């Protein structure tokens, strides 16, 4: 009978790659099973291609606005996306995993019992397992949608021609990012958002993105959903909405959320519990209801972010191999990479008791003024004793500025502590810094602080007089 592997990893996306490499570095015999290609959605259909498309679309829009500017070449845009994927692919390849000590098997895996699985029809025993099979785009049950020419964030990269008209079903980050990119390339884009766009962000942040989308030619239809899709023989479609409007499209982009990939994994047999949405339930240490089995990434009930998948998988793998029960941090940053970017972490709403806001707009930020990009702000949510609990940043490179704010929240820093850090000038991050300074100065204006400052000043003058 074969000796059991220390960690069996199901799925070769971000969570699977990070988890398996972590286990291998800890000396564990690790086997990773992937039925398509390693790298996952982030490399092939998510982060890498979408950010490359956004960059190419921004360049195209700027080029079109110059004297003698020409329309973008969609073949060149597609080539740029492919080049970016190929540049990053080696780091996520089976060869890279093998070099790190991970055994990679191509095929499918199914849990068959306690500590047992079936990989490509062959039995394998394991001491611990990590499920990291990710998710796929959700396609809502809209009448006529199945007969229309549709793409998702997975298949939009298969387009060989730039659509003349595109209707996007959904109003989240994927809808806004791809909507802006295609609009800047020349497509007439309509976004149908069932509620408001970027529903998890503050309304002020969403409003700035809405204004930017509109300026790029996007029709943003909020609080409006697709009810019926009518398709013509030539492949074109008409979307009828809940408000009775009609929007024509050459292509429909469905961006209505994600569904976890749990079918065929044998989770019932293994006693792994799911929630009502089909997501694997894990505790803060990333352990499932089966003590041998862990899970990380989009397949769990946690937020669907690549960076979170990696952190959670590393935690799960080290816990599994070392017998630990370390918990993951609840401080989770997020970024929507539109222009302007929207970045947020922790609390973004100050409506609770004892909470306050400190906001600095980019039209008061010197770097933004010098570059003529003043649409945006940095806003801190502050609790007792000036502790920074979260915030929102909107503007160019907001995701970069969010790193400092995330650290401040993670470490429980106060506005006074952040205000006391020397920052380089001029940067967009000045807005975050100045928001902290503004709040710290407010504390100095309190009656108690004012009296203390006066007392200290008087004492200093007395000492100086004696000298």
C-alpha–C-alpha distance, residues 28 and 101, integer Å: 9
pLDDT value for 462: 73
Domains along the sequence of the chain with CATH: 5-38+93-136+259-322 (3.50.50.60), 145-257 (3.50.50.60), 340-444 (3.30.390.30)
User: For residue 58, with 0-12 CB atoms within 10 Å meaning exposed, 13-18 middle and 19 or more buried, which class applies?
Assistant: middle
User: For residue 112, with 0-12 CB atoms within 10 Å meaning exposed, 13-18 middle and 19 or more buried, which class applies?
Assistant: middle
For every one of its 467 residues, what pLDDT tens digit does the chain have, with 9 covering 90 and above?
A: 479 999 999 999 999 999 999 999 999 999 999 999 999 999 999 999 999 999 999 999 988 766 556 778 999 999 999 999 999 999 999 999 999 999 999 999 999 998 999 999 999 999 999 999 999 999 999 999 999 999 999 999 999 999 999 999 999 999 999 999 999 999 999 999 999 999 999 999 999 999 999 999 999 999 999 999 999 999 899 999 999 999 999 999 999 999 999 999 999 999 999 999 999 999 999 999 999 999 999 999 999 999 999 999 999 999 999 999 999 999 999 999 999 999 999 999 999 999 999 999 999 999 999 999 999 999 999 999 999 999 999 999 999 999 999 999 999 999 999 999 999 999 999 999 999 999 999 866 667 666 655 676 777 777 777 66
Residues 6+ away with beta carbon under 8 Å from 412: 387
| Cα–Cα separations (whole angstroms), residue 241 to 36, 142, 175, 229, 406 | 37, 11, 17, 9, 39
* SS3 category, 432: helix
pTM: 0.93
pLDDT value for 65: 67
pLDDT value for 463: 75
pLDDT value for 442: 87
Output the CA torsion 268→264→135→155 (10° steps): -160
Structure tokens at 222: 């909020």
> ∠ CA(158), CA(159), CA(162), 5° rounding?
160
User: For residue 111, with 0-12 CB atoms within 10 Å meaning exposed, 13-18 middle and 19 or more buried, which class applies?
Assistant: buried
C-alpha–C-alpha distance, residues 336 and 403, integer Å: 14
| Cα–Cα separations (whole angstroms), residue 403 to 216, 333, 371, 406, 424 | 28, 8, 22, 5, 15
């Amino acid at each position: 009978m074969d000796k059991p592997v220390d960690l069996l990893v199901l799925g070769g996306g971000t969570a699977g790659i990070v988890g398996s490499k972590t286990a291998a570095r800890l000396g564990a015999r690790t086997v990773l099973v992937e039925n398509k290609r390693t790298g996952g959605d982030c490399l092939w259909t998510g982060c890498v291609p979408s950010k490359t498309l956004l960059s190419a679309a921004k360049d195209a829009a700027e080029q079109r606005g110059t004297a003698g500017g020409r329309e973008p070449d969609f073949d060149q845009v597609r080539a740029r996306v492919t080049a970016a994927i190929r540049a990053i692919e080696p780091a996520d390849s089976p060869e890279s995993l093998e070099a790190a000590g991970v055994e990679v098997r191509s095929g499918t895996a199914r849990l068959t019992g306690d500590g047992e699985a079936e990989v490509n029809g062959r039995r394998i025993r394991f001491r611990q397992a990590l499920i990291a099979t990710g998710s796929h785009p959700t396609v809502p049950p809209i009448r006529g949608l199945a007969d229309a020419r549709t793409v998702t964030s997975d298949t939009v990269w298969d387009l060989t021609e730039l659509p003349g008209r595109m209707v996007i079903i959904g109003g989240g980050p994927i809808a806004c990012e791809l909507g802006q990119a295609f609009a800047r390339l020349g497509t007439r884009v309509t976004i149908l958002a069932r509620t408001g766009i970027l529903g998890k962000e503050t309304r002020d942040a969403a409003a700035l993105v809405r204004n930017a989308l509109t300026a790029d030619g996007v029709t943003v239809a909020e609080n409006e959903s697709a009810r019926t899709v009518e398709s013509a023989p030539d492949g074109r479609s008409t979307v009828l909405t809940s408000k009775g409007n009609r929007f024509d499209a050459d292509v429909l982009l469905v961006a209505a959320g994600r569904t976890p990939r749990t079918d065929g994994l044998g989770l019932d047999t293994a006693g792994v519990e799911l929630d009502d949405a089909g997501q694997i339930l894990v505790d803060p240490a990333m352990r499932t209801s089966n003590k041998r089995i862990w899970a990380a990434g989009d397949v769990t009930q946690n937020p669907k972010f690549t960076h979170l998948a990696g952190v959670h998988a590393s935690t799960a793998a080290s816990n599994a191999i070392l017998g630990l029960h370390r918990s993951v941090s609840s401080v989770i940053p997020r970024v929507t990479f539109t222009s302007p970017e929207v970045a947020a972490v922790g609390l973004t709403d100050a409506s609770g008791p004892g909470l306050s806001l400190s906001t600095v707009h980019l039209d008061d930020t010197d770097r933004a003024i010098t570059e003529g990009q003043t649409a945006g702000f940095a806003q801190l949510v502050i609790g007792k004793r000036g502790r920074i609990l979260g915030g929102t940043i909107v503007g160019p490179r907001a995701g970069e500025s969010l790193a400092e704010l995330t650290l401040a929240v993670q470490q429980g820093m106060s506005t006074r502590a952040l205000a006391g850090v020397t920052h380089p000038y001029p940067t967009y991050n000045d807005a975050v810094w100045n928001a902290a300074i503004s709040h710290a100065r407010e504390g100095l204006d309190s009656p108690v602080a004012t009296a203390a400052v006066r007392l200290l000043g008087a004492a200093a003058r007395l000492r100086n007089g004696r000298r």
